[in-house]
Structure 1
Amino acid sequence: MTKDTPTNTNQIGRMIFLILSILFIMCLLTQVFFAGLAIFINPSNWANHTNFIHFFEWLPLLMLITSFVGKLPVGMRWQSAGLFVLIFLMYFTAHSNTIVPIKYSAAAHPVIAMVLFILSVNVTQRAAQMLRHK
């Protein structure tokens, strides 16, 4: 076995990473759905939107940890860390009205969400490619 050939442990780490990344995308879509319910149906749904984040906010950190087990490229590790930073920025824009005028942080919140979604899809695609090409 050469140095670049992944071991079974690496393959399991890559599979877990892929599963976590898919779960993260599904959670992001659910989060957007809850926001849509709150905006277009009933504002009481904001509670679902604000509470649901606690279910998946640590997934990028778990992805980062499993990226080491799977011996994924450094770029994918940075992207996993970037997902975690973007979640922090989402928290900041949701609660920053004392630092930044609310209209600016509120406008940045969905933009950051789009970047978060695009980056998570990219990470998931790369993880799937890494798993396919042993």
Structure 2
Amino acid sequence: MEPSATLLVAAAAFSGITAFRRWRQGPLNTADSARDAWRAVYPGDRVRASIIGEDGRTALVETDWGCGLICRRGRVARRLDKAETDIGSDGLNIHLGDIDVPRVTVKLSPADAATWHDKIAES
């Protein structure tokens, strides 16, 4: 195999691995990506704080009106004004009472799960 062909094969393999890793981890990797995903659904809201789940698939946001959840790798956003939460071994379990998304677990440290459990209860 020629050196240029070897280089092209290596570049294609690297691109495929990078794309798979990005798909697997989800696009929620920064506070800005969480804010952008939220504002895509609720453009008038101002996001004051956010936290990304440890797996990059979910995030919680705090807005002027209350808390919200971003899940399914940023494709779904829900307000949490009627949600119930409990702290589990994996993080914060959120029960939405929604047919499409009945329950979501946001993988958080115990301290972060407790903080967001309180924030959601207050909103």
Normalising by the smaller structure, the TM-score range is under 0.3
With a CA cutoff of 8 Å and minimum separation of 6, indicate the structure with the bigger relative contact order.
1
Structure whose residues are more often strand by fraction: 2
| TM-score w.r.t. length of structure 1 | 0.25
